[in-house]
Structure 1
């Protein structure tokens, strides 16, 4: 069965925000990636390279708070109030396909489901009600 978790977007202060959340909730980051660690990191400004591509902080039993920095250089615009998505972690590629297809009628597909460099099957869309969704299946699930 798929799980859902909040995915937060920030205007360059993701690291500060997540260090604050870590102080509130405790625990350790299970993922902390900067844009410089991505395949396109060499093509970015020195400032953008140091920003956060993905961070994940487990909270409680089975919940994960995740986030990223929105980059103007990548054409990403952010409005406070719509700076989050609901991330669905599917149990299989087939489940990811089914969920993505079910959410797609009338949606704006931001990124179709595809295999990614970080070892996942991933896609993003904004549904017909304006809710932003991320659908993900990690290939290294146990």
Structure 2
């Protein structure tokens, strides 16, 4: 099965961000550090940074993240990329709970509420600068 998953890049905040997303979405976080993979970074200050992290939820959501090391160009969240969490009416409570949790420290918040086209819709930029969009419509 082919899957498309968001992969977010951070500057030293990937572990913290993944734990924040786990608290909002549920699931389990797995982390590999630069120090656990020989040759990935020779900088002693970067050994505990996240080379690859993954959050996988019981709902089948997968969100990946890493810290960009000093040897690579900065690839932190950018304009034009949005993480979308969508579902059907059966998912409304889960998405509403996630929106509430992700709203802590968020900016540019468009409240998650019934939209003119009938879906529940909302948007925000989380505390890490990652834009999110939420949409729950009929099955």
State the TM-score, normalizing by the size of structure 2.
0.51
Unmatched tracts of structure 1, length 5 or more: 87-142
Counterpart in the other structure of 1:33: 32
Asked if 2 retains the 8 angstrom alpha-carbon contact of 1:48 and 1:71, the reply is yes
Runs of 4 or more consecutive aligned structure 1 residues displaced over 3 Å after TM superposition: none
1:20-79 deviation per Cα after TM superposition (whole angstroms, max 9, x unaligned): 1111111211x31000011215x522211110001111135332100000112x232235
Question: 2:64 pairs with 42, 63, 66, which one?
Answer: 66
Unmatched tracts of structure 2, length 5 or more: 84-139
Asked if 1 retains the 8 angstrom alpha-carbon contact of 2:10 and 2:67, the reply is yes
Distance in 1 of aligned mates of 2:77 and 2:32: 23
Asked if 2 retains the 8 angstrom alpha-carbon contact of 1:34 and 1:49, the reply is yes
Residues 34 and 79 (structure 1), Cα distance of their counterparts in 2 relative to 1, 3 Å cut: closer
Distance in 2 of aligned mates of 1:57 and 1:38: 20
Residues 69 and 3 (structure 1), Cα distance of their counterparts in 2 relative to 1, 3 Å cut: same
Counterpart in the other structure of 2:43: 45
Alignment length (residue pairs): 83
Asked if 2 retains the 8 angstrom alpha-carbon contact of 1:8 and 1:68, the reply is yes
Higher Cα Rg, which structure: 2
**SS of the counterpart of 1:3?**
coil
Residues 5 and 80 (structure 1), Cα distance of their counterparts in 2 relative to 1, 3 Å cut: closer
Counterpart in the other structure of 2:75: 78
Residues 79 and 6 (structure 1), Cα distance of their counterparts in 2 relative to 1, 3 Å cut: closer
Residues 83 and 68 (structure 1), Cα distance of their counterparts in 2 relative to 1, 3 Å cut: farther
Asked if 1 retains the 8 angstrom alpha-carbon contact of 2:14 and 2:67, the reply is yes
